[in-house]
Chain A
């Protein structure tokens, strides 16, 4: 593992960036055990390719008026997939809006994701990970939820952990500090993962904070912070896995800064060329996570061209089937907006629901 600290002498930095795979996919050495398991590595790779394929399809659907505003995860697949791959089924995920890969790895279906981004609440009624939180949009506001859920695990003496993912911009918010602080005080089984993609819409990392790294923001609240190469799926999985173990067994929370790069626009209504040089993006394409893992698979596990082609075909079919299922799903009945407002509809609201249902409900 590479633990070099760039500019350490100058900055006095105490945190190294952890990495197992160089950008060209060659291994640095001391690989974790799972990296030698061909099946497991192929599964990790498959989830990342599936995530990117879903992403491409979502943008295509949005451009043709068949999906709402969508946030691409292009270039960040290793953070989301690597983190979720380290989870156990009964851990819970609290994702933000750019962690499709984590949700897919957790068993959220592509059809459910399309439904959510297509404007249908049923997309957050996951058939698979029933206790995972829905996608969080108000930045950082879900971080305290992770602490609350983790506290519930600890109080019930369950060996489970909450994994919360958010972006670099979220670390400027009070919710981040407040949640991290109380997680430190209470020692709850919670892992906080910053997917630092360098840009909060148009605001670059350097304008977000003068802090040397985002990981060191844990120091003030007594939580260990580590920086990991977020484009190295092996490193993300290993670091998050270790943190989850510490959470489940010792109730020790962790902060992980996964350093990655947003290769796409913020969302489909954004145009990053207004504020970001193409040259910078081009430079980061050379470090992107999928080519890196493919090179590793090819060199270390003899991943063949045939296997690659079979995988792409299988994924194309899976995504197309999900698109079909999504497009064939009718909208809910209008009155459905009242159906889960409360456990049972208060009589005071019966009239409004009846009006939507096309019945004479009067006022109410």
Chain B
């Protein structure tokens, strides 16, 4: 067992999937000889060749559209969009084709493709490289939206996404790409999709989050525990379809919930979770459901980005507020 970064774990999962299944291929900009700008596909071209590790021209809508065609013809493309900020031209293909090919042909044609993209802030990247726009993807019926939050979950969830018979958008929190490291065993075993992960158990407050904010959320839970407030921490992992059962079960026990995400507050996916809690878990609540989120401002350039990102302090303050009720 080796201690790997998320980048290394993703690379291991891709290699494993390609070795196990010759219909799996990866494609995208600079993913061949260069190994991808973050090196997620490093070395794959040497092992699997340029046919299956395929550099593409610089055209994101094409990358997604070609993947739809490959998938409809029984291949399993894993496409990389270099940054989420450049994914928007591909949304036409996700909304109009990938997500509905199975439905509109009554299962005759299917679309087992994965579209990977790094997302989120915190690495002092240039303009357009730091946004978290996952909520717009979570709105698309027929599309799975998966976000890993650790190297081991990145490995298991990417394997699951590649093996799934339907399209998956796989957003990788690039702030977690190089650290922390985690033991990852190349078992070839996938983790379950459509299933949140409970990472810490506590009876006072339920903290719900995904992606890079797990880091701040777990730190906040540590600090709060030292002050006597025990938190359950849930990594949603698959945002769409959203399985609420573990969240409802936990909030039923704690009576308090804080949802944390880096994406802007309004229209963010935290609103969906809060609405489900209001609908299905209201009578168990002891305090208002609270969100700690990015501001409704354009993602600032690096000099201000730390002020935009939800901090451990903001999470602790929110928890203290919900603890003050009842």
Q: Do A and B come from one complex?
A: yes
CB closest chain-B residue, reference A186: B54
Does the CB pair B69–A342 fall under 8 Å?
no
Does the CB pair B106–A146 fall under 8 Å?
no
Q: How close is A166's CB to chain B, nearest CB, in angstroms?
A: 13
Instruction: Say yes or no for A328: interface residue by CB 8 A criterion.
Output: no
Give per-residue flags for A73-92: 1 if the beta carbon is below 8 A from chain B beta carbons, else 0.
00000000000000000001
| Distance between Cα atoms of A122 and B75 in the complex (Å) | 24
| Complex contacts, B165 vs chain A, CB 8 Å | 342-343
| Complex contacts, A337 vs chain B, CB 8 Å | 103
Q: How close is B25's CB to chain A, nearest CB, in angstroms?
A: 8
Binds B, one of A10-18, A30-38, A308-316, A345-353: A345-353
Instruction: Say yes or no for B66: interface residue by CB 8 A criterion.
Output: yes
| Distance between Cα atoms of A107 and B225 in the complex (Å) | 68
Instruction: Say yes or no for B108: interface residue by CB 8 A criterion.
Output: yes
Contacting residue for B66 out of A124, A147, A346, CB 8 A: A147
| Distance between Cα atoms of A138 and B57 in the complex (Å) | 23
Instruction: Say yes or no for A340: interface residue by CB 8 A criterion.
Output: yes
Known: A126-B108, A175-B62. A152 touches B74 (CB 8 A): yes
> How many residues of chain B are within 8 Å of chain A by beta carbon?
49
Instruction: Say yes or no for A201: interface residue by CB 8 A criterion.
Output: no
| Distance between Cα atoms of A338 and B108 in the complex (Å) | 15
| Distance between Cα atoms of A360 and B242 in the complex (Å) | 20
Report B275-319 residues with CB < 8 Å from chain A CB.
276, 279-280
Does the CB pair B92–A141 fall under 8 Å?
yes
Does the CB pair A148–B68 fall under 8 Å?
yes
Q: How close is B31's CB to chain A, nearest CB, in angstroms?
A: 15
Chain A interface size, as a band, is 35 or more
Best-buried of B25, B93, B165 by chain A (most CB within 10 Å)? B93
CB closest chain-B residue, reference A179: B62
Instruction: Say yes or no for B180: interface residue by CB 8 A criterion.
Output: no
Q: How close is A127's CB to chain B, nearest CB, in angstroms?
A: 10
Contacting residue for B243 out of A133, A179, A341, A348, CB 8 A: A348
Contacting residue for B65 out of A121, A134, A145, CB 8 A: A145
Report B163-185 residues with CB < 8 Å from chain A CB.
164-166
Does the CB pair B241–A121 fall under 8 Å?
no
| Distance between Cα atoms of A145 and B67 in the complex (Å) | 7
| Complex contacts, A206 vs chain B, CB 8 Å | none
| Complex contacts, A185 vs chain B, CB 8 Å | 57
Give per-residue flags for B98-130: 1 if the beta carbon is below 8 A from chain A beta carbons, else 0.
000011111111100000000000000000000
Instruction: Say yes or no for A144: interface residue by CB 8 A criterion.
Output: yes
Does the CB pair B70–A181 fall under 8 Å?
no
| Distance between Cα atoms of A149 and B109 in the complex (Å) | 12
Known: A148-B66, A148-B68, A151-B66. A121 touches B97 (CB 8 A): no
Contacting residue for B96 out of A141, A149, A178, CB 8 A: A141
Give per-residue flags for A148-191: 1 if the beta carbon is below 8 A from chain B beta carbons, else 0.
11111101000000100000000000110011011001000000
Does the CB pair A134–B104 fall under 8 Å?
yes
Contacting residue for B62 out of A142, A152, A182, CB 8 A: A182
| Distance between Cα atoms of A185 and B276 in the complex (Å) | 49
Does the CB pair B65–A348 fall under 8 Å?
no
| Complex contacts, B107 vs chain A, CB 8 Å | 125, 339-340
| Distance between Cα atoms of A155 and B68 in the complex (Å) | 16
Contacting residue for A181 out of B25, B57, B71, B166, CB 8 A: B57
| Distance between Cα atoms of A364 and B97 in the complex (Å) | 25
Instruction: Say yes or no for A131: interface residue by CB 8 A criterion.
Output: yes
Instruction: Say yes or no for A235: interface residue by CB 8 A criterion.
Output: no
CB closest chain-B residue, reference A150: B69
Does the CB pair A143–B65 fall under 8 Å?
yes
Report A115-145 residues with CB < 8 Å from chain B CB.
121-122, 124-126, 130-131, 133-134, 138, 141-145
| Complex contacts, B89 vs chain A, CB 8 Å | 174
Q: How close is A7's CB to chain B, nearest CB, in angstroms?
A: 34
Instruction: Say yes or no for A242: interface residue by CB 8 A criterion.
Output: no
Does the CB pair A145–B280 fall under 8 Å?
no
Instruction: Say yes or no for B59: interface residue by CB 8 A criterion.
Output: yes
Q: How close is A198's CB to chain B, nearest CB, in angstroms?
A: 26
Does the CB pair A343–B69 fall under 8 Å?
no
CB closest chain-A residue, reference B166: A342
CB closest chain-A residue, reference B56: A182
Give per-residue flags for A36-71: 1 if the beta carbon is below 8 A from chain B beta carbons, else 0.
000000000000000000000000000000000000
Q: How close is B266's CB to chain A, nearest CB, in angstroms?
A: 23
Does the CB pair A141–B194 fall under 8 Å?
no
Going nearest first, the 8 A-B pairs with the smallest beta carbon separation are A148-B69, A144-B65, A152-B73, A178-B62, A145-B69, A343-B165, A148-B66, A125-B106
| 6 pairs, CB–CB < 8 Å, chain A vs chain B | A144-B61, A145-B69, A185-B57, A341-B142, A342-B142, A346-B241
Extra 20 A-B pairs, beta carbons < 8 Å, given A124-B105, A124-B108, A131-B109: A121-B104, A122-B106, A134-B105, A141-B92, A141-B93, A144-B66, A144-B93, A145-B66, A148-B69, A148-B70, A151-B69, A152-B70, A152-B74, A178-B65, A340-B105, A342-B142, A346-B243, A348-B243, A362-B280, A363-B279
